[in-house]
Amino acid sequence: MTRETLKARITRTRAIMKRLRNTYPEAHCELNFSNPLELLVATILSAQCTDKRVNLVTPALFQKYRTAADYANAPATEVEALIQTTGFFRNKARNIQACCRMLVEQHGGRVPRTMAALHALPGVGRKTANVVLGNAYHLNAGIVVDTHVARVTRRLGLTRQTDAVKIERELIPLVPRAQWTLFSHWLIWHGRRRCVARRPDCAHCEVATLCPRIGVK
């Protein structure tokens, strides 16, 4: 099979985006939050855990801890107990508290608005930083690459990479910057609702005619 040129891949990506936008016009971040700190904490909790599970845990968590200082000063065992069902709860509690201590000490308790400052926080990688910037601050600093985005973009032949940072680097030239955040939402919704991991519903897929179905048996 002839390798697709960058120009052709851009054209196909824009066509895929149009179909996904029409299919999921209401696509949004499915983590519940009301401010940047809540989204930061929820995104840390979402590692190797479903958004639905995180959304079951965060109401009590957000009611108890309203500020970064609240998290930083809480007993570790108390935080662990509240987030236990999200998995890896000790490590997540440690990251959340260390992150919030840095917010208090270096940012006046506020969640920063730049990739560099967010990425410097304990437990915060590019994915988490992109989620916060794109959804709490409406800043398109990058493209969120979670497991759904990684799987769907490989199946679509938009990348051959497996590393999230490398996938993001290859997707950025394909998508207009103004739509980076929405692009992730469309792919995530499609990955959860149609292009699932084990048995993708290719027969009813809205982008089937644009998809080479890489890796699908």
> Which positions are catalytic?
127, 146
Alpha helices in the chain (DSSP H): 6-23, 36-45, 51-64, 68-73, 76-83, 89-107, 115-119, 126-136, 147-155, 164-171, 180-193
Amino acid identity of 74? A
Both tokens of residue 111? Answer: 């969640």
Amino acid identity of 36? P
Neighbours of 179 (CB within 10 A): 16
Both tokens of residue 57? Answer: 């845990």
Cα 97 to chain center, whole Å?
A: 21
Which residue reads 């179905």 in tokens? Answer: 213
Q: What share of the chain is helix, strand, coil (3-state, %, to 5)?
A: 65, 0, 35
Residue 120: partners with Cβ closer than 8 Å, 6 or more residues away: 102
